Structure 1
Amino acid sequence: MLIHGLLAGSLALSGTPATTAQAKIDCAEVKCLALTFDDGPGKSTAKLLRILKKERAKATFFLTGKYVDQRPALAKRTLAEGHAIGNHTYSHFSLTPRLDDEIFDDIKAGQQAIKKATGLTATMFRPPFGHTDERVLRIADELDLAEVKWTGTTHDWALKDKKKIKAKVLSLAKRDGIILMHDTVPQTVQAMPEVIRELKKRGYHLVTVPQLYSGKLRSGVSYP
């Protein structure tokens, strides 16, 4: 859904979990898990992309517009390498205390930054800090965006420890789960090779959020 033909054409070279051709994975039949990364693109994003490519895993990135403007090539590369991209607003402020026009304008500005950098019109967004309500959902619907939260958060920004982050991710892993992390936390990126390998051993197929829902995310609806 979100990255159209790019996802369908994104092929992996092995039939093991998390490496099968992404477009062919049926999460109703196999154990799927979505790794998601917020707040980028940042200084560690390029390293994370290299790791994901090497490990043949896909992820979802919720990009912050002001950082997309600073690193447009990284945003474009993220999409080109078969990952899903969502909008994490432009300024990364809490939406619920804001006026309707402020919410609309900041989400829309995030849309515009992503579109300018990648050519993509995002169809999902994640509210900063998870702060949302019926107004935010209504405005998201006006902008044709589904809201995506998570089933578990690592609090990696507070842990800042490779071993602890790895342990937290593995403790949160469950079928059809969506795990929140940050590619702006270097220790999270450092933990990813071991995390991905262990998840594969446990039988998980690492998919994007749109794949988790078979491309059927609807605007104005909050997932999961």
Structure 2
Amino acid sequence: MTRRVTVGAAGATLITSGLLLGAAHPVTAAPSEEAPDCDEVACVALTFDDGPGEYTDALLDTLAEHDARATFYLLGSKVGDHHEEVRRMAEEGHGIGNHTWKHDDLTTLSHDQIRDDLARTDRAVAEVTGERPRSMRPPYGALDDTARETIPHPMVLWDVDTLDWQHRDGERMREIALDGVGDGSVILFHDIHGTTVEAIPALLDDLTERGYHFVTVSELFGDDLEPGTAHTDARSG
């Protein structure tokens, strides 16, 4: 059963509004093990905001070593300087989401500004991967009626906030994640912080020992990931 907050759905035409795919073709993910069945095993979605950045490639190395999938909520303004990392995310089976162009609070923007911001970020990702992001995350988790009515993507929030951006302490980040995690959790990190990336290997080991499998947001929510809906976590049962 999915825990979610249903909001007003935007018109279907907005889903591709302003999105023009460039010459790029969809990236084909490298062969990997089939995603686990989250109805049968415990799954969590690791999500990383505000990148890509200087530590993203090292994080991708760590995820590959642990056979872990994650979802990256990217700032469109950073994609141009990190084409290789973004393409690698897609090739290695990670999810890619829209986190706006430069982290503006959507509750301060008009309908047209929100639409144009998200479309610009969609284009930046699509020019590298050939596909637009499947979901988005509002900066600060901030939504108001205008944003809800305008955003065409499924909106993915979180139920475990590691506060890694605030304390910059890898051990504290791990403690928060381990204390709050449950089957179906969406855990929030920021891969722009070296302390976070350095702490991820030990956290992956800890979560693996507890029986968790690491999947993308799309794999966690499946058909419940719908436009016009804000999701926090998925719970089975």
Instruction: Tell me how far 1:10 sits from its aligned partner.
Output: 4.6
CA distance in 1, matches of 2:224, 2:31: 19
Unaligned runs of 5+ in 2: 1-25, 233-237
Tell me what 1:110 maps to: 121
Tell me what 1:55 maps to: 66
Instruction: Tell me how far 1:196 sits from its aligned partner.
Output: 0.3
Structure 2 letter corresponding to 1:76:
R
CA distance in 1, matches of 2:113, 2:184: 33
Structure 2 letter corresponding to 1:211:
E
Secondary structure in 2 aligned to 1:176?
coil
Cα deviation code 1:102-125 (max 9, x no counterpart): 111111111111111211111200
CA distance in 1, matches of 2:32, 2:48: 22
Aligned pairs for 1:69-148 (under 5 A) are 69-141=80-152, 145-148=153-156
Instruction: Judge which range, 163-172 or 76-85, deviates more.
Output: 163-172
Tell me what 1:211 maps to: 219
Which residue, out of 29, 51, 67, partners 2:78? 67
CA distance in 1, matches of 2:28, 2:172: 34
CA distance in 1, matches of 2:120, 2:70: 23
Tell me what 1:15 maps to: none
Check if 1:29 corresponds to 2:29.
no
Structure 1 letter corresponding to 2:72:
F
Q: Which fold has the larger relative contact order, with Cα–Cα distance below 8 Å and residues 6 or more apart in sequence?
A: 2
CA distance in 1, matches of 2:69, 2:60: 9
Unaligned runs of 5+ in 1: 13-20
Tell me what 2:202 maps to: 194
Which residue, out of 159, 168, 179, partners 2:176? 168
CA distance in 1, matches of 2:181, 2:31: 24
Instruction: Tell me how far 1:6 sits from its aligned partner.
Output: 5.2
How many aligned residue pairs are there?
A: 207
CA distance in 1, matches of 2:145, 2:118: 15
Instruction: Tell me how far 1:135 sits from its aligned partner.
Output: 2.0
CA distance in 1, matches of 2:116, 2:66: 38
CA distance in 2, matches of 1:209, 1:169: 17
Cα root mean square deviation, aligned: 1.6
Identity %: 36
Contact 1:123 1:219 in 2 (8 A): no
Contact 1:65 1:110 in 2 (8 A): yes
Instruction: Tell me how far 1:171 sits from its aligned partner.
Output: 1.4
Contact 1:62 1:125 in 2 (8 A): yes
Secondary structure in 1 aligned to 2:65?
helix
Q: TM-score, normalised by structure 2?
A: 0.83
- Alpha-carbon distance change, 221 to 5 in structure 1, aligned in 2, over 3 angstroms: farther
Instruction: Tell me how far 1:197 sits from its aligned partner.
Output: 0.7
Secondary structure in 1 aligned to 2:107?
coil
Cα deviation code 1:41-75 (max 9, x no counterpart): 00000000000001111100001000112211111
Instruction: Tell me how far 1:170 sits from its aligned partner.
Output: 1.1
Tell me what 1:42 maps to: 53
Cα deviation code 1:1-21 (max 9, x no counterpart): xxx9956x7523xxxxxxxx3
CA distance in 1, matches of 2:66, 2:170: 18
Contact 1:72 1:118 in 2 (8 A): no
